[in-house]
DNA sequence: GCATGTCAAGTTGTG
DNA sequence: CACAACTTGACATGC
């Protein structure tokens, strides 16, 4: 294992802003593996588990490499791929971790990751995908969501992941009713999931003005995606939303988590939603300057985008 | 090798 | 009404 040297390039080791990378790498040779239920289905159970076990080990090894790189670069947060353990909760080919043939090695890898994360103050998060809808009126959808979130919670505990972030989901023509269903379903989650769960504003239905009160009622933090807020504005200014966002996390004694990205086709385009390769420093919200927060950067150029924004913003005294 | 269609799952808006 | 977009490609198949 390489010796970690922080800071690189003579820059200060920590700004008050902690920047985060999402899931993947553009240039670094760090790749995650996957498999599909269809590919597994024809195999005997034993072979399915062998294959899954190998993929899990590969992915954990890649996480270790990713974390070492991030620490070297002064990048303080990392969003893990949600299918790190592929098909974990899938009804037909899903599995309990204890069933994997190499489970001892896997636990050992997890422990090493958790230890490294703690040693280097690297903040880990998970962002289970769009199929997880606690506000759905369909019991089956909610049941699938609960099952998947519990798998994510198990993973989070093993790896030292602090945040499991999801969206509220669909509106079904009545946002208040949908948010009520989410509140009803929330207590059905285990403590290990509830203690990590956060809700994020999206760009089609739920704005910060919707999600902030919901989070307050549930006693969980709000992840502020400022790009979504710009795509789907509400009565709240960025300043106001930022104040409430920070207050919520501070009340819980935790460091605020936000998301930032730039529009691929510019703000004037008809569709500002798709993410650009890099972050335009002008898109960094003024009210966020100087705050002790974590900002995940959603940019196609991945680690290159994080490094570029950090170099562009660091020299300024505001950081 | 390389190109291409497919992958568990939900919901919404667009063409 | 089919399909892309969403945090994001990688896998599996066929040539």
How many Å does it take to go from CA A136 to C1' C4? 22
Mean pLDDT rounded to a whole number for chain A: 89
Window from A33-37, A232-236, A264-268, A304-308 with minimum mean pLDDT: A264-268
* A267 CB less than 7 Å from any atom of strand B: no
User: CATH topology for A17-318?
Assistant: TIM Barrel (3.20.20)
Q: Is the pLDDT of residue A244 over 90?
A: yes
* Burial of residue A303, with CB atoms counted within 10 A of its CB: 0-12 exposed, 13-18 middle, 19 or more buried: buried
How many angstroms separate the CA atoms of A81 and A52, rounded?
16
In this structure, what is the dihedral angle of CA atoms A288, A243, A192, A75, given to the nearest 10 degrees?
Answer: 10
Distance CA A167, CA A200 (A): 5
What distance in Å separates the CA atoms of residue A131 and residue A145, rounded to the nearest whole number? 7
Q: What is the spatial distance, in angstroms and rounded to an integer, between the CA atom of A171 and the C1' atom of B1? A: 47
In Å, what is the CA distance from A99 to each residue of A32, A87, A103, A278? 22, 14, 7, 42
Average of per-residue pLDDT across A41-68: 92
Nucleotides, chain B, CB distance < 7 Å: 6-13
pLDDT value of position A141: 93
Task: Output the pTM of the full model.
Answer: 0.92
pLDDT, tens only, A127-180: 998 899 999 999 999 999 999 999 999 999 999 999 999 999 999 999 999 999
* Residue A237 phi, psi dihedral angles, 5° rounding: -75, 165
CA of A303 to C1' of B3 (A): 28
Residues 6+ apart with CB under 8 A from A271: A265
Structure confidence at residue A318 as a pLDDT band (50, 70, 90): very low
- For the segment A230-237, the average pLDDT, to the nearest whole number, is 92
Smallest Cα–C1' distance to nucleotide C13: which residue has it?
A39
**What SS3 state is found at A266?**
coil
Q: Which residues of A98-121 are buried (b: 16+ CB within 10 A; e: fewer)?
A: eebebeeebeebbebbbebbeeee
Q: Is A32 strand, coil or helix?
A: coil
- Tell me the pLDDT tens digit for each residue of A78-109: 999 989 999 999 988 999 999 999 999 999 99
Query: Are the C-beta atoms of residues A184 and A219 closer than 8 Å to each other?
Result: no
> What backbone torsions phi and psi does residue A169 show, to the nearest 5 degrees?
115, -145
Domain extents for chain A?
17-318
- pLDDT of A9 reads 35
pLDDT of amino acid A2: 32
A172: Cβ under 7 Å from strand B?
yes
Q: Is the CB of A150 under 7 A from strand B?
A: no
Give the span between the Cα atoms of A181 and A184, in whole angstroms.
Answer: 5
Closest nt by CA–C1' to A39: C12
> Does residue A14 register a pLDDT over 80?
no
What confidence tier does A319 reach under pLDDT thresholds 50, 70, 90? very low
Over the stretch A28-39, which tens digit does the pLDDT of each residue have? Answer: 889 899 898 888
What is the three-class DSSP state of A156?
A: helix
**CA/C1' separation A203–C14 (Å):** 40
């Amino acid at each position: 294992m390489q010796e970690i040297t922080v800071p690189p390039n003579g820059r200060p080791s920590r700004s008050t802003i902690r920047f985060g990378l999402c899931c993947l790498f553009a240039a670094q040779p760090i790749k995650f593996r996957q498999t599909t239920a269809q590919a597994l289905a024809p195999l005997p159970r034993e072979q399915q588990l062998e294959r899954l076990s190998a993929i899990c080990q590969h992915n954990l090894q890649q996480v270790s490499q990713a974390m070492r790189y991030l620490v070297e670069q002064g990048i303080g947060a990392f969003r893990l791929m949600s299918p790190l353990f592929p098909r974990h909760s899938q009804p037909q080919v899903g599995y309990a971790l204890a069933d994997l043939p190499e489970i001892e090695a896997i636990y050992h890898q997890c422990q090493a990751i958790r230890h490294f994360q703690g040693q280097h103050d690297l903040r880990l998060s998970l962002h289970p995908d769009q199929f997880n809808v606690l506000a759905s009126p369909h019991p089956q959808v909610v049941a699938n969501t609960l099952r998947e979130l519990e798998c994510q919670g198990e993973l989070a505990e093993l790896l030292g992941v602090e945040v499991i972030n999801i969206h509220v989901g669909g509106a079904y023509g009545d946002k208040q009713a949908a948010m009520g269903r989410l509140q009803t379903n929330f207590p059905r989650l285990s403590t290990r999931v509830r203690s990590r769960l956060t809700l994020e504003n999206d760009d089609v239905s739920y704005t910060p003005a919707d999600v902030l009160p919901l989070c307050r009622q549930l006693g969980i933090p709000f992840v502020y995606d400022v790009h979504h807020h710009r795509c789907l504005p509400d009565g709240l200014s960025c300043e106001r939303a930022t104040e409430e966002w920070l207050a919520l996390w501070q009340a819980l004694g935790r460091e605020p988590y936000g998301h930032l990205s730039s529009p691929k086709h510019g703000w004037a385009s008809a569709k500002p939603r798709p993410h650009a390769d890099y972050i335009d420093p002008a898109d960094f919200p003024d009210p966020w300057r100087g705050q002790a927060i974590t900002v995940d950067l959603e940019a196609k150029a991945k680690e290159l985008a994080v490094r570029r924004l950090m170099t562009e913003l660091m020299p300024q005294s505001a950081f």
